[in-house]
Structure 1
Amino acid sequence: MKAEKTEELFAKGNVWMAIAKMGIPAVATMLVVLLYNMADQFFVAQTGDSLQIAAISLSSPLYSLAMAAGTLVGGGGMAAVSNALGGKNTKLVKALSSAALILVLAAGVVFTGAVLIFPDQILGMLGVDESTWQYTKDYITILALGMVFILFSNAFANIIRAEGAAKESMIGNGIGTLANIILDPIFILAFGMGVKGAAIATVIGNMLASVYYVVYIYRSRSELSLNPKYAFEVPVAFWRVAVLGVPNAVSTLLNSLTGTISNHILMGYGASAVVAMSVGGKASMIVSMVVMGICMGVQPIIAYNYGAGNVARTKEVLTKITVVSVVAGALLTVVCWWQRPAIAGLFLSDPALLDQSVQIMSISLITTAFLGFYYVGLNFQQAAGNAGRAVVLSVLRQGILYVPAIYLMNWSFGLEGVYWVSVICDTVSIILAVGLLLYQMRPGTLPESSRCTS
């Protein structure tokens, strides 16, 4: 029954309706994630302590490192399951989802152990100084203790969307975010726990979301499974999940690396520079996550039709999702540009920091209107199983270009040069993504046979 509904939505129904049904909940989910990510910093900002705000910013590369595992499993699992559903391979669907569970548990245990055993070494790598040391240590330690739940909720929010459960994915994220937003002011402000309270609220929110996803899988007519036996019956399932998740994971991993490098450079100008850069990136983050949500929401449709060898529908979905994502990105860019002082004012009250953050927003929004081209290209490569090409797109934007660019711009132009690095990297990556997609969309280049085999 579930498979029949998925086929009707993905392969036979109106494309605009399919995009709306999958894209809108995915965007809502990304907005929920955005609120989730901003909630801690917003409520900590109400303490008036810039050092605690800086501690959360300094912790973000480590959190991104952990999320690389969640993204690998979630993104890879979603693409692999969608392909398997397109090929009508129910046994493989169960194997892939149970393999995802095992990978999440393993990654969570490794991360927790590393933070608890080597906290001081990790803090040193993050560029933390004496003024923010204890705050940052408290924050990452509590997050580490709940990392299994954080990874599970993030991974399976994506995986269940592979069978069309976009609404359920949104509900799970909503439960976690609502809990976090309710608990943040209680723990941070009422109990005076500061960053400790922020971390506790984050863990509890992810625990509740995880429980919801488990209940969904067992109580609905889902084709997914959390029984490890299915994974070990088809050992290749681990490989399929991992290899298709590599592009997003590499991107997230490089976000961690570039965040660490950026924080090291910014700390040379003081903790205030870290805070200004973090807040200054909020506007572009809003646009980026909405556009990313649109493209990720439609990725299962692309993967399903590509896996089924339906070339005409694959091209139709790609064309229409490009229009939607670029128009949405352009409109949001205009709104965020107009509201720059208001966005920065949510997190800052110091006039100097506020002006600095608004300046950073002005620069970072230059390329956001065109990010739809990049994310469509990236998600197509994943949906088609072209992990290598997707990795190239991710690595180019976050690593190959960013690392040398930030050192060069800092050396040449100082702090203001650092502000322009993301614009340079985005411009080159967008051009490459568009060129690669157009090349692959030439007549006769898409295979008309299923890419999903048992």
Structure 2
Amino acid sequence: MGVASQDLATKSIKSLLIKQSVPASIGILFMSVNVLVDTIFVGRWIGSLAIAAISVVMPLTFFISSLGMAIGIGGSSVLSRALGSGDKDKANNTFAHQIIMTFIISAIAVAAGLVFSDQVLYAFGAAGDIKEPAGQFYFPVLIAVPFQAFCMMGNNVIRAEDKAKHAMIAMILSAITNLVCDVLFIKILGWGLFGSGLATATSFFVCFLYVLWFFIYRSELKVKLRHFVWHTKLAGEILSLSFVTFARQGVISILAIILNHTLFAQGGEHAVTVYGIISRMLMFMLFPVLGITQGFMPIAGYNYGAENYGRVRKTINTALLYAGGLAIVVFAVILIFARPIVSIFTTDAEVIKDTPGALRWVFAASPIIAVQLIGAAYFQAAGKATKALLLTLTKQGFFLIPLILILPHFFGIFGVWISFPIADVMSTLVTGIFLKKEMSNHLTDAT
């Protein structure tokens, strides 16, 4: 096995978590800033309706590209444990299978998205005045989704090799490309939402080129033609763990459909725009917590594969401490600066008036979300697909979607916003119970 991946079994947990999480956090930060600035450009250069159009399309295209992320995370769990046990050949076979699955599945999804574009856009909430601008953004982004899928898959494999800096660079290059192309296509050339979509598509391609370069010249994985021979058992292991992430993204997409239709029914295009800003902030403000979660997985997976259960337990505790502290800071920033944050996105007085209160409610339970995120990530890293799936689906699937379907009937649009913290609290309680039991019963060996 490579020297870099061996470090996961020997170096201090704190230094490993920092080494893995800081690049992951910076990469997510750049991607989040990219989404934020993109939204600001679109809102100010095109109009607030354009924010609603992007909010409808992005969950759809992200769902398709996240097929690659699902295969990346699921396969990397297999890959990390293979590296941990010293089985380099299985690691190479796993990566080869990830490549095959990513391109086949994403290509099929894109073809379906093109053939059934009208039906799909309507399903995701492209109604009223949102429909036409949503279509302008949709097509260029959809065509480039296979490149993004490969980037998402590759990013997780790079982190599994303990080379998180390269994963960070890939995300930074993508973000910078998108912002530069935004200025060129929207501001200078005046191509509107089509230009915004083309900028996003170009950023996907640049990210793809960097990830491809990494695997050719820098990766310790050396895939040969023989590794591309299909192994049903290995493919089943990858898919069973990938299904956890895929199911989560599928539920998030269903949530987006329900949210967009509920918001449109409660407050028209205006309400969809409000949530468009909130959804950007959810991704941006939680970047350090998500970075720790991503940094945690290869450390936990490698040591679980090596049967270093004491280190796995310590990794969980350290990740919870860091992620929990950062989540509290995030909550404080949102609580204090909600209105100034919202005013950056738009000059629309009604949006500025209605969004800060909704933003505070959506983030109300953020101080405790680390338990849910780290707990679900542990079971996936350890290869326990069923528990990982159940815990991953608790917030959006078991709690948030039913709450959004029920509460607005009694509380109007406020019922949508209050659903988020209630779902956070309930899912954290469930995950905490599972995680505590697992640590007491299975992660007790001292190392």
Task: With the length of structure 2 as denominator, give the TM-score of the two structures.
Answer: 0.95
Kept in 1, the 8 Å contact 2:27–2:167? The answer is: yes
Residues in 1 aligned to 2:324 and 2:219: alpha-carbon distance in whole angstroms: 35
Identify the match of residue 32 of structure 1 among 15, 18, 30.
30
Segment drifting more, 36-45 vs 139-148? 36-45
Task: State whether structure 2 residue 251 is matched by structure 1 residue 254.
Answer: yes
Residues in 1 aligned to 2:108 and 2:26: alpha-carbon distance in whole angstroms: 31
5+ unaligned residues in a row in structure 1: which ranges? 449-454
Matched residue type, 1:248: T
Identify the match of residue 227 of structure 2 among 223, 226, 230.
230
Kept in 2, the 8 Å contact 1:309–1:447? The answer is: no
Residues in 1 aligned to 2:363 and 2:399: alpha-carbon distance in whole angstroms: 19
- Counterpart of 2:264 in structure 1 is 267
Evaluate the alpha carbon distance shift between residue 294 and residue 394 of structure 1 in structure 2; reply closer, same or farther with a 3 A threshold.
same
Residues in 1 aligned to 2:340 and 2:68: alpha-carbon distance in whole angstroms: 32
Residues in 2 aligned to 1:257 and 1:228: alpha-carbon distance in whole angstroms: 38
- Counterpart of 2:165 in structure 1 is 167
Kept in 2, the 8 Å contact 1:78–1:159? The answer is: yes
The alpha-carbon deviation at position 181 of structure 1 amounts to 1.0
Residues in 1 aligned to 2:334 and 2:157: alpha-carbon distance in whole angstroms: 31
Evaluate the alpha carbon distance shift between residue 432 and residue 365 of structure 1 in structure 2; reply closer, same or farther with a 3 A threshold.
same
What RMSD in Å do the two structures reach over aligned CA positions? Answer: 1.8
The alpha-carbon deviation at position 99 of structure 1 amounts to 0.9
Evaluate the alpha carbon distance shift between residue 57 and residue 293 of structure 1 in structure 2; reply closer, same or farther with a 3 A threshold.
same
Task: State whether structure 2 residue 191 is matched by structure 1 residue 193.
Answer: yes
- Counterpart of 2:414 in structure 1 is 416
The alpha-carbon deviation at position 447 of structure 1 amounts to 8.4
Residues in 1 aligned to 2:147 and 2:34: alpha-carbon distance in whole angstroms: 15
- Counterpart of 2:151 in structure 1 is 153
Residues in 1 aligned to 2:222 and 2:40: alpha-carbon distance in whole angstroms: 37
- Counterpart of 1:143 in structure 2 is 141
- Counterpart of 1:318 in structure 2 is 316
Residues in 1 aligned to 2:4 and 2:39: alpha-carbon distance in whole angstroms: 41
Residues in 1 aligned to 2:18 and 2:152: alpha-carbon distance in whole angstroms: 22
Matched residue type, 1:403: I
Identify the match of residue 357 of structure 1 among 330, 346, 355.
355
Kept in 2, the 8 Å contact 1:409–1:418? The answer is: yes
1:191-230, Cα deviation, whole Å (9 max, x unpaired): 11121111111111111111111111111252253x5641
Q: Tell me which stretches of 4 or more aligned residues in structure 1 moved more than 4 Å.
A: none
Residues in 2 aligned to 1:243 and 1:33: alpha-carbon distance in whole angstroms: 28
Residues in 1 aligned to 2:273 and 2:39: alpha-carbon distance in whole angstroms: 10
Task: State whether structure 2 residue 114 is matched by structure 1 residue 124.
Answer: no
Residues in 2 aligned to 1:217 and 1:285: alpha-carbon distance in whole angstroms: 28
- Counterpart of 2:58 in structure 1 is 60
Residues in 2 aligned to 1:217 and 1:229: alpha-carbon distance in whole angstroms: 17
Evaluate the alpha carbon distance shift between residue 134 and residue 284 of structure 1 in structure 2; reply closer, same or farther with a 3 A threshold.
closer
Kept in 2, the 8 Å contact 1:115–1:140? The answer is: no
- Counterpart of 1:452 in structure 2 is none
Residues in 1 aligned to 2:304 and 2:59: alpha-carbon distance in whole angstroms: 35
Kept in 1, the 8 Å contact 2:66–2:249? The answer is: yes
Kept in 1, the 8 Å contact 2:97–2:230? The answer is: no
Identify the match of residue 295 of structure 1 among 276, 288, 293.
293
Kept in 2, the 8 Å contact 1:281–1:361? The answer is: no
5+ unaligned residues in a row in structure 2: which ranges? none
The alpha-carbon deviation at position 111 of structure 1 amounts to 2.0
